[in-house]
Amino acid sequence: MGREVVRKRLTEVFRDVFDDDSIVLTDNTTANDIEAWDSLEHISLISAVEKEFRMRFTMKEVSGMKNVGEMISIVAERAKK
């Protein structure tokens, strides 16, 4: 699965979780860029992403993600397998 396909699907997940249709994701998007993205919503977001892509992140992956670009890379890489 290509990065742009992943980004498009992730954008829909983010918009749904944060109830904000104006969200536009870039590789550099972080929690600081989305007002409602706090630690509680982060759990909801990770769960929604896992459900959308039918995968599970490891704790190391979750704690190591610094931005949306890293999330896209992980999802795209897993989709190749």
User: What residue type is assigned to position 8 of the chain?
Assistant: K
Q: Which of the four pLDDT bands, split at 50, 70 and 90, describes residue 1?
A: confident
* Tokens standing for residue 58: 């490891």
As a whole number of angstroms, the distance between CA 18 and CA 25 comes to: 13
First to last CA, the chain: 10
CATH code assigned to 3-80: 1.10.1200.10
Cβ atoms 7, 72 nearer than 8 A: yes
What predicted TM-score, i.e. pTM, was given to this entire model?
A: 0.92
**Residues 56-78: tens digit of each pLDDT:** 999 999 999 999 999 999 999 98
Structural domain boundaries of the chain? 3-80
